[in-house]
């Protein structure tokens, strides 16, 4: 019989991508986290993680156990919530990057809030860098956003290429300095784009500083600038520009779910499942 505490530690180590970050989230020492993993591996009789000083990787048995562990922990949370449910009174604030502010997700959040009359559910829409700062400051309890070139904490929901969005055009180097449409700092797409251009020795200028995805897309559709975008966000009228236009390759975008360690566990766990289901359905529709 698996110990739920050991399973929770195992899942947290995987999701936080490291023992030190898992220890911080679980409010344990790093040696305690390592001890939990050793005990779980003893129960299974096989190693679950291949660990080096710089990285960790799930074994085949670890990947199989991970799915089971998440299911078991979700059932524990549901049972606890059902048997101990009290009228919840309080505020829970969620941070969404703009591309997640869609009616289907907001309706699901509203339906959930309807189950808890005392719950004050708030949504903050902003760029991921700002949302994660707010999470660290304690003003948000849950964030869904994207990252580039970062090991980052949080649960990976999916990843896809970051591309140079532009108008369809013949294969030829673009004019320099390259006109860009960008979000303000701190934006992971902005940082990745400027870093890759600098490494390639390509001069650039910020032709348009945007505060919304609509403005960013308008700048590109007008031929005013090119912009870094996730591949799934290109939409009609735009195409991904690349090496044939003299542009460097951009990194993958990782869409991740982050939660505050001190957040109310039952409510945040339930909201996390709503987010994960939404992202799963959205990803399968791409």
| DSSP per-residue codes, 43-98 | HHTS--EEE-SS-EEE-HHHHHHHHHHHHHHHHHHHHHHHHH-----EEEEEEE-G
Closest by alpha carbon to 137, among 200, 93, 196? 93
Mean pLDDT of the chain: 84
Domain CATH code at residue 44: 1.10.10.10
* Residues 107, 249 share a domain: no
Residue-range definition of the domain harbouring residue 232: 159-253
Percent of the chain with pLDDT over 70: 89
Whether 75 contacts 122, CB under 8 Å: no
Report the number of distinct structural domains present in the chain: 3
Give the mean model confidence (pLDDT) for residues 160-172.
Answer: 91
Give the mean model confidence (pLDDT) for residues 158-176.
Answer: 89
Percent of the chain with pLDDT over 90: 28
Q: Say if residue 259's pLDDT is above 90.
A: no
CA dist., res. 122 & res. 138, Å (int): 14
* Residues 165, 211 share a domain: yes
* Residues 143, 24 share a domain: no
Quote the pLDDT of residue 262. 63
Give the mean model confidence (pLDDT) for residues 29-55.
Answer: 83
Quote the pLDDT of residue 256. 87
* Residues 220, 78 share a domain: no
* Residues 148, 120 share a domain: yes
φ, ψ at 100 (rounded to 5°): -100, -5
* Residues 145, 168 share a domain: no
Give the mean model confidence (pLDDT) for residues 111-138.
Answer: 85
For residue 194, give every residue at least 6 positions away whose Cβ sits within 8 Å of its Cβ, in sequence order, or none.
204
Domain CATH code at residue 100: 3.40.190.10
* Residues 172, 93 share a domain: no
Quote the pLDDT of residue 246. 92
* Residues 220, 170 share a domain: yes
Q: Which residue did the predictor score with more confidence, 154 or 219?
A: 219
Q: Say if residue 264's pLDDT is above 70.
A: no
pTM over 0.85: no
* Residues 148, 21 share a domain: no
* Residues 71, 185 share a domain: no
Quote the pLDDT of residue 165. 96
199-222 per-position pLDDT tens digit: 999 999 999 999 888 899 999 999
Reported as type and span, the H/E element at residue 42 is helix 30-44
* Residues 67, 143 share a domain: no
Give the mean model confidence (pLDDT) for residues 64-80.
Answer: 79
Give the mean model confidence (pLDDT) for residues 57-64.
Answer: 87
CA dist., res. 251 & res. 193, Å (int): 9
Q: Say if residue 47's pLDDT is above 80.
A: yes
Strands 204-210 and 119-125: unpaired
* Residues 141, 121 share a domain: yes
């Amino acid at each position: 019989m698996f110990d739920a505490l050991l399973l929770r530690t195992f899942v947290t180590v995987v999701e936080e991508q490291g023992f030190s970050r898992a220890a911080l989230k679980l409010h344990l020492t790093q040696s305690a986290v390592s001890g939990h993993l050793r005990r779980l591996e003893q129960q299974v009789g096989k190693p679950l993680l291949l660990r080096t000083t710089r990285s960790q990787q799930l074994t085949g048995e670890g990947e199989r156990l991970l799915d089971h562990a998440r299911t078991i922990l979700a059932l524990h949370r549901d049972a606890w919530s059902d048997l101990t449910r009290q009228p919840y009174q309080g505020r829970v604030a969620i941070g969404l990057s703009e591309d997640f502010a869609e009616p289907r997700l907001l309706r699901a959040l509203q339906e959930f809030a309807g189950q808890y009359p005392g719950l004050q559910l708030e949504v903050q829409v902003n760029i991921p860098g700002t949302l994660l700062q707010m999470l660290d400051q304690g003003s948000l309890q849950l964030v869904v956003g994207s990252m580039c070139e970062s090991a980052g904490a949080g649960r990976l929901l999916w990843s896809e290429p970051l591309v140079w969005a532009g108008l369809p055009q013949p294969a030829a180097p673009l004019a320099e300095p390259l006109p860009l449409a960008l979000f303000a700092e701190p934006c992971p797409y902005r940082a990745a784009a400027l870093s890759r251009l600098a490494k390639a020795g390509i001069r650039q200028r910020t032709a348009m500083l945007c505060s919304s995805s609509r403005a960013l897309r308008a700048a590109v559709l007008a031929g005013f600038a090119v912009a870094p975008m996730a591949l799934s966000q290109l939409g009609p009228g735009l195409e991904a520009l690349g090496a044939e236009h003299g542009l460097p390759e951009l990194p993958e975008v990782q869409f991740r779910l982050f939660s505050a360690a001190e957040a109310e566990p039952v409510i945040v766990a339930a909201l996390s499942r709503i987010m994960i289901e939404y992202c799963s359905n959205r990803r399968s529709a791409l």
